Structure 1
Amino acid sequence: MKRLLAGRQVNPFGLGCMGLTHGYGVPPAPEDAAKVLEAALDLGVDHFDTANIYGAGRCETLIGNTLAHRRDEFFLASKTGIMFDGPKRGTNCHPDAVLKSLDESLARLKTDHLDLFYLHRFDASVPIADSIGALVRAMEAGKILSYGVSEWSAAHIREAHAVHPVAAVQTEYSLWTRNVEIAVRDTCAELGIALVAFSPLGRGALAEGIRDTSTLLESDIRYSHPRFDADNWPRNLALIDGFNAVARREGVMPAQLALAWVLSRGDNVHVIPGTTNIAHLAENMARQDWQPDAALLDEVGALINQQTVSGPRYPANMQKTIDTEEFT
């Protein structure tokens, strides 16, 4: 059941931790978020994914405070490279910034090393060899065991891999976000790189997580995402209703079917769905050994895909920070 990630066999069902501190409206209280982390570990999750920007460091602090005493039980990944200055968002993968951010992350996480450290976005202002060189120095110092990149194009992944082998590429991948299929998925398979899919449940849309988008708070990132707006959501909801009907027919929950579809895309693929709800976490894990047959996978893949979904995955200002190839 386990799959290889950065030289280590881990459960391909990891936990994306962003929502525990920000991103989807009002986050849970720290004590409740801590219970989710503990429950995940107890349910067999051994891959936790966070980033320095999640909650402006609060997510890393939460993980450190909650799980530091069980550090040898799980694979820990974090990221750097996205910066916020008030309302402004940008990238900074300068070597000095990368190494400074790493030390700050290690302190918050209460650990002396990360199993995997990603460059969260591509920074066109810094030569790739310079950014990767800093990560190599961090590996030589024992602060990280491997490195990865997030939302990078296939060409830039290859360029980084030529400097030092890339362990993992993280990108959005789900039934309704297929950009990785243009070039990144094949590149990862060719080079022996793990592909870590974030938002494999379509930001909750494929897990019965939302029906009325008019109730979204401005602090919820979906509030500004086109697929959830008043024009596109009714059409997308119709697709989701059809998908949910297929899941009911098969006797599984929609989230279980959506996750199984992503994992079927390759033996190097991992998923890191996020949740703030222990019941949802248990639901995600309950059918982790299930492998749907090809006919079912093809059926849902034909129902929800890049051609049938309405609206781009990001608003224009965020899309500018994404290096992954886009459909034309």
Structure 2
Amino acid sequence: MIDLLVAGGGPAGLATAIHGALAGFEVVVAEPRPTPVDKACGEGLMPGAVRALAGLGVAVEGARFTGIRYTDGLGARAAEARFRAGHGLGVRRTDLQSALAARAAELGVRFVARRLGEVRQDGRQVTADGLTARYLVAADGLHSPVRRALGLGARPASARAARYGLRRHYAVAPWSDLVEVHWAERSEAYVTPLAAGLVGVAVLTADRAPFDAQLARFPALGERLCSAAATPVRGAGPLRQDVRTRVAGRVLLVGDAAGYVDALTGEGLTLALTAAGELVRCVRSGRPREYERAWRRLSRPYRLLTGCLLRARENPYLAPRVVPLAARLPRVFREGVNLLA
């Protein structure tokens, strides 16, 4: 029998599959789309994610970055924080997925082209679309079909405006070894170095305006990008996804399927990679229910800091003061960045 059946062949699902294979499990990954899948993503791996990949035996090429820089839309005020331990890595999502898939295949993980939705389970096994396993891992994304089928979604605790992400690549040489976060009145733009002649720009906002209209809110950034060739825009959202529990019998949730606050702090991939290891550890020890507590422990700094920044973003008095305050309190800004690094 299959030990771990993983729904979703993105980074979270593939990391879970690799951890499972390293633990001696028979693992099958079900992914219905041709891979690698290009999706809206900030494409910046924080140092913790870089270390997690190394622990999985995954090598991927990208552009190193050494910290985070917050700046206002005009480029007049800024705050910088360098990582104390290690470096980040700007990596195309497609390259990351390909590297993870290659490592999983090397370890004997099997892949099937199938979308898992309907789930049946008892005390010994779980079945999804004709595949039976000891455990099913839902790593099927922000709008997880498995999570929806099991009714594990929850209503948001607060009536916040839905936020969305838009991403585009620009053929321009990176001008910094930092990930830049540009703040405007209603949105943020994240600039990640990806290669010698490529940067990724991701905009997060509650405003449903086209990408170019969003970019116009960041004049200093727009000036750098105005003559560069650009790729089509990709989008994702609503970003916030509340989940009642990450463990439902023999089904466990990981990655974006496990719940998502916002992409504001760039911690999605780090949390996905580390939570995948905790999930497999809990299953291997015969205590899968402990995964819920482990996930909450791992995600607590991310949830707290991201929640605080979101509250500031939504407050018309605080939002324009985030960058000036970070510039006036550099030590606090450094501690916040390195808390999540």
Q: Which has the higher strand share?
A: 2
Q: Shared fold by TM > 0.5? A: no
- TM-score calculated relative to the size of structure 1: 0.28
Q: Which has the higher helix share?
A: 1
Greater relative contact order (CA < 8 Å, ≥ 6 in sequence): 2
- TM-score calculated relative to the size of structure 2: 0.28
